[in-house]
A and B are shown apart, each in its own frame.
Chain A
Amino acid sequence: MLPSFDLRFSSTANEACGFLDEDWYLIAGGTEMVPALRIGALTPIGLVDLNSSAEMRVVAKVGSSLEIGALVTHTEVTNSDLVVEHVPVMSKICMHVGNARVRATGTVGGNLCFAEPRSDLSSVLHALGASLILIGPDSERVLSIPEFIVGAFQTSIENREVLQKVKIPLPAEDVNYWKFTFGERPTVGLAWILRENEIHVVIGAATEVPTSYTFVKGEKVDLETWAEELEIESDLAGSAAYKRALIIQKLREIGVGL
């Protein structure tokens, strides 16, 4: 049983700002919001429903960016010709988020704003150097992923701000992604880019926030010691030591520290 709440509808980010009174939250696909309501993790007075927003549901190439509206679903990202052409890794990872129902309903914006650590999108967008456009009542901010996702389930979104879209700079770097999953959600996620002289890595899912590291190619690294610095918690999917071991193995596999 879900608790009762008031409801407003909006079709633009600007309009939605105005509707976001205290204890009002945005709802897009609801794949994170509804479970949160069910367990009482969030207790809003009202929800602002953005699902009628055509403008926020668009994937477009604008100048030298690929823009993905916050209301675009994971399935739409997977199937978008533009995404497949310009940032194929996004199509691939969106294809493996949750299950087909979650993918058809859940949105990119909702995924990022909920900031569940055990997810894939934020790690890959971090590696891609994506920026997030936040519309406030009187302002517009542009944040990077590390500036936006600041903790487990914590973003730096301000009062009355609405995430409008994600911009990925083109041409996109060739980002690879691997994850290890035992249950429903990823336990460890690793995005990497093999550059000419360095390997750029973003570690997520196991950490509270996706965090990037750059390793010089060919340079020896004591990965065991390095991994001790990672902020990783033990949970049902595995101990911190186990997750570290998985990360170290994968890093070695892609050529780090050798």
Chain B
Amino acid sequence: MTTSQLITCKINGVGVEAWVKNRSTVAQFLREQLGLTGTKVSCEIQVCGSCTVLVDGSPISSCSVFAYRLQGKSVTTIEGVAERGHLNDVQEAFVNNFAFQCGFCTSGFIMMTMSLLGSSERPTDEEISEHLDGNLCRCTGYEPILAAAKVAVRKRFGDE
């Protein structure tokens, strides 16, 4: 009978070894065990995206994936985005475009945008909105978030 697993993984580039309860989610591991509270928990049913983190570059709903699955994987959370406190292009775009209000969905949207930029092909406008359609925001009405994502895409891939 096991109740916990010993996992070794990378969190924002740093090696971590930890015991995680079988029932612990990635969100709980990050927030409660590691103190990385930038990832938020909201709907707990995979639709809002506020808990989005990247695992080996792919976006997951950290509220609904067990922490033991991180064995051998590399995780990027919102805390790992800025370089020594300097905002990256996505974060800058969100600030300059007022792409947040209460901020609770913001970490998730930034991580989703990062996962979009991870591919080598430039996403079309339609692909950008389809990708981000998987996250909810209750404050902004989405328009500035889409605008910020498009700015970030332009920065990464150049003007069309």
Q: Is the CB of A7 within 8 A of B69?
A: no
> In angstroms, how far is the closest chain A Cβ from the Cβ of B30?
15
Task: Knowing A4-B23, A5-B22, say if A101 contacts B44 (CB, 8 Å).
Answer: no
Instruction: Choose among A2, A75, A101 the residue that contacts B61 (Cβ–Cβ < 8 A).
Output: A101
> In angstroms, how far is the closest chain B Cβ from the Cβ of A123?
21
Residues of chain B within 8 A of A98, CB atoms compared: 46, 134
Instruction: Choose among B25, B69, B131 the residue that contacts A100 (Cβ–Cβ < 8 A).
Output: B131
Instruction: Name the CB-closest residue of A to B72.
Output: A52
> In angstroms, how far is the closest chain A Cβ from the Cβ of B135?
8
> In angstroms, how far is the closest chain A Cβ from the Cβ of B29?
12
Among B5, B59, B64, residue most surrounded by chain A Cβ atoms (within 10 Å): B64
Residues of chain B in range 5-50 having any CB-CB distance to chain A below 8 Å: 5, 21-23, 25, 44-47, 49
Q: Is the CB of A3 within 8 A of B23?
A: yes
Q: Is the CB of A7 within 8 A of B5?
A: yes
Interface check B147, CB cutoff 8 A: no
A93-133 vs B: 1/0 string, CB under 8 Å?
00000111110110000000000000000000000000000
Q: Is the CB of B64 within 8 A of A30?
A: yes
Interface check B60, CB cutoff 8 A: yes
Instruction: Choose among B5, B44, B47, B135 the residue that contacts A38 (Cβ–Cβ < 8 A).
Output: B44
Bound-state CA distance A34–B64 (Å) is 6
Instruction: Name the CB-closest residue of A to B115.
Output: A100
Bound-state CA distance A75–B52 (Å) is 16
Residues of chain B within 8 A of A12, CB atoms compared: none
Q: Is the CB of A102 within 8 A of B115?
A: no
Interface check B109, CB cutoff 8 A: no
> In angstroms, how far is the closest chain B Cβ from the Cβ of A42?
13
Residues of chain A within 8 A of B2, CB atoms compared: 6-7
Q: Is the CB of B131 within 8 A of A34?
A: no
Instruction: Name the CB-closest residue of B to A75.
Output: B58
Task: Knowing A4-B3, A4-B23, say if A100 contacts B65 (CB, 8 Å).
Answer: no
Task: Knowing A34-B66, A99-B134, A105-B65, say if A5 contacts B59 (CB, 8 Å).
Answer: no
> In angstroms, how far is the closest chain B Cβ from the Cβ of A153?
17
**Additional A-B contacts beyond A2-B23, A4-B21, A49-B68 (10; CB < 8 A):** A6-B2, A7-B68, A30-B66, A31-B61, A49-B69, A101-B46, A102-B61, A102-B134, A104-B60, A105-B58
6 smallest beta-carbon distances between A and B, as pairs: A99-B134, A104-B58, A34-B64, A2-B23, A7-B22, A101-B61
